[in-house]
Structure 1
Amino acid sequence: MRDPRMSALGKGLRRRGRLMVQAVSPPRRVSPERRTLNAVPSPREAVDTDTDTAGTVPLAPRLVESPVFVLSSVRSGSTLLRVLLNSHSRIRAPHEMHLRTVHVQFSRDFTADAMKELRLDRQELEHVLWDRILDLELTHSGKDVIVDKTPANTLIFKRLRRCWPNARYIVLLRHPGAVVSSLVNRRDNPNLEAIHEEVLQYAEKLEEARQQLEGAHVITYEDLTADPERITRGLCAYLGVPWESAMLDYGSHDHGRFRPKLGDWSSTIKSGRIQAARTADPEIELPPRLAELAKAWGYTG
């Protein structure tokens, strides 16, 4: 009869040197007011992943050569944009995919050397994994264009550019004051200072992306809700697909379950109808830098 201790030892030996893939959640915040379903990653995580500098290894071939990423702040209408795009017969825009939280971990010191011999490092292995995830989702959908609208992708757009040199970007703007108002209304006992800090972190990255990503397609949430046909026609032209009127009737299509942490799940998005964007609360004064960015994006007042 096999000694159970030897069986356990054998399992332990087989675990050595393996690659571990983990979906890592952002660190929990201490302040209750700043705990949010769309929490900003810690500065350490953002710095660790937001790079497009040349890696230590060459890029592996990509299965999805030109994915599309929506760059936006939280509470900026990205879920509405997602379902409009997903209603197109050739565009797959799934729930938020949170690729930045999917990491590869080397469980032994020698694993890095083994991967180096294969012309791979930890970052490029993560890129290969991210690419495979998008390819699987695109294959399952039967469509040929994939769009990931996770707001936190805005914080790592340089890393995405490194991973997919031929990626395309939709920059979705919303008046920072309206984003602040939405977060204030959404939270219990909101900490206005913390909300300003959160919105500013996204806004700074959005402005950086707007300036650096040549050829990115820039739209506003206000225009999307006010004139959805014109904006979706422009999006289709950018993505190289013909416009379809069915995109505007997103409620008649299956977009999966609307649920927390995967996008907006409010009654507004569940209504299946495009509704007018809510404006900023005029009584909420923006910090100078946020006001400056709002003006740079064409917003007044």
Structure 2
Amino acid sequence: MVGSQKKQGLMQGIGNVFIVGNSRSGTTMMLRIMNNHSLVHGINEPHFYGTYWAPADDGKMLGHAESRELLTKLLTRQRDGFFAEVVPGKFDAEVEAILRELPAHADRKDAYATFMAYETRRNGMRIACEKTPQNIFYISELQHHFPGAKVIIMYRDPRAVLLSQKRKWMRKDLGMAGMPDKEVRRLRMNYHPYTIARLWNSSFDAAMRHKGHPDVLEVRFEDLTRDPEGTMRRVCEGIGIPFEPAMLEVPHAGSSSAMDDHSKKGIRTDRGESWKKGLEPAEVAICQGTCGSRMAKLGYEQVPVSPGVLRLAAAWLSFPFKLAGAFVLNLDRMRNMTNTLQRRLKQA
């Protein structure tokens, strides 16, 4: 079973699985599937790497106040949701319990590992399964900080990713009522077909740097929706846990184009090619022109497209304004701006 790494205190015996990939590539669906397993507890988007950790933090001992602040933020995000504000005192007792389990001279990664082990044991599980898409750019760190951990890389057709990103801000009205207006503005500003296509390329290149590693599993979103059981049997075998049919009974939620319906369960199979109707020709052309060679390596075929000259020009003219706005609205999400941008924009 995954998790042969030796840890002390709460971490001993807890295995780790990390779900990574380009945003809107099916990472949430994979987490929901994994969370249905009788041995697995899901940790949903703590965004530790990049937001709460930078390379210079390794080996730098956390002070008591700093440890409390970090653990409080992690507990708040896990229990109350991604957009929840910290409520002073709410998790003080649990923070103190985790602090008592920290190894001597603990740094940020030690606090993070102990937090995940605490949450997993608290729920009676053996494996912590953490999902943060952007960890695709931190696989080396995951493997260094969590020896023996399994990493599931999700891929999805970049044109489908574009459509999902284009509509992501609509999640506020489709089931994510807690999304603040500031986040809606950020998501709308983030979207530009070239920006999303470039980030898809960067995610692909980051994944390729770890292709073939025995602890890395690769899953195409399209394969997961086309053959859920076969795909998850392969994933479970790679992790070292038995497949359970109940894993596939996930609620219909998280889509950027349909209202959440938690009464319906199972893997939806109707989301494969909706981009053909949802994207404008200019968006498809920019995406295919940017991602073409990488798309082919994953089996995604290009389609003929003839965008109007004016539409294409308008898309390119809007790019610098979108880029500047996105930069400003994402500043508070990066602990080390230079390091974060270098990772996300690096291409082979």
SS in 2 for 1:210: coil
Bigger fraction of residues in helix:
2
Q: Give the C-alpha shift of residue 215 in structure 1.
A: 3.9
Give 1:236-247 correspondences, 5 Å limit. 236-247=236-247
Matched-pair contact (CA < 8 Å) for 1:60–1:128: no
Structure 2: how far apart are the matches of 1:174 and 1:269?
23
Q: Give the C-alpha shift of residue 131 in structure 1.
A: 1.0
Structure 1: how far apart are the matches of 2:17 and 2:206?
17
The residue aligned with 1:26 is none
Matched-pair contact (CA < 8 Å) for 1:173–1:221: yes
Structure 2: how far apart are the matches of 1:61 and 1:245?
31
For residue 73 of structure 1, the aligned residue among 13, 22, 35 is 22
The residue aligned with 1:129 is 111
Q: Aligned pair 1:155/2:150, yes or no?
A: no
The residue aligned with 2:305 is none
SS in 2 for 1:74: coil
Q: Aligned pair 1:177/2:159, yes or no?
A: yes
Structure 1: how far apart are the matches of 2:289 and 2:39?
42
Please tell me whether Structure 1 or Structure 2 has the larger radius of gyration of its CA atoms: 1
Give 1:143-222 correspondences, 5 Å limit. 143-186=125-168, 188=188, 190-210=191-211, 213-222=213-222
Return the TM-score normalized by structure 1. 0.64
Show structure 1 runs of 5+ residues with no match. 1-58, 109-117, 253-257
User: One-letter code of the match for 1:273?
Assistant: G
Structure 1: how far apart are the matches of 2:110 and 2:245?
35
Show structure 2 runs of 5+ residues with no match. 64-102, 170-187, 303-348
Q: Aligned pair 1:94/2:94, yes or no?
A: no
Give 1:1-301 correspondences, 5 Å limit. 61=7, 63=11, 66-100=15-49, 101-103=51-53, 125-186=107-168, 188=188, 190-210=191-211, 213-251=213-251, 267-268=259-260, 270=262, 271-276=264-269, 277-279=271-273, 280-281=275-276, 283=281, 284-285=284-285, 286-288=287-289, 290-301=291-302
Q: Give the C-alpha shift of residue 202 in structure 1.
A: 2.1
Q: Give the C-alpha shift of residue 194 in structure 1.
A: 2.3
User: One-letter code of the match for 1:161?
Assistant: Q
SS in 1 for 2:206: helix
Q: RMSD over aligned Cα, in angstroms?
A: 3.4
Structure 1 residues 89 and 119, CA gap change in structure 2 (3 angstroms): closer
Structure 1: how far apart are the matches of 2:240 and 2:108?
28
Q: Give the C-alpha shift of residue 106 in structure 1.
A: 7.1
Structure 2: how far apart are the matches of 1:94 and 1:106?
24
Return the TM-score normalized by structure 2. 0.56
Matched-pair contact (CA < 8 Å) for 2:149–2:215: no
Structure 1 residues 126 and 206, CA gap change in structure 2 (3 angstroms): same
Matched-pair contact (CA < 8 Å) for 1:70–1:171: yes
Task: Say how many residue pairs are matched.
Answer: 223
Deviations 1:58-116 (A, max 9, x none): x99462564111121100111111111111111112322222123468799xxxxxxxx
Structure 2: how far apart are the matches of 1:269 and 1:157?
33
Deviations 1:234-278 (A, max 9, x none): 1222222222111121239xxxxx89xxx9896357453321233
Structure 1: how far apart are the matches of 2:233 and 2:147?
25
Structure 1 residues 287 and 170, CA gap change in structure 2 (3 angstroms): same
Matched-pair contact (CA < 8 Å) for 1:171–1:210: no
Structure 1: how far apart are the matches of 2:222 and 2:299?
12
Deviations 1:151-192 (A, max 9, x none): 011111111111112111111111122212221233547422
Deviations 1:4-42 (A, max 9, x none): xxxxxxxxxxxxxxxxxxxxxxxxxxxxxxxxxxxxxxx
SS in 1 for 2:37: coil
Structure 2: how far apart are the matches of 1:229 and 1:221?
13
Structure 1 residues 235 and 268, CA gap change in structure 2 (3 angstroms): farther
Structure 2: how far apart are the matches of 1:143 and 1:225?
27
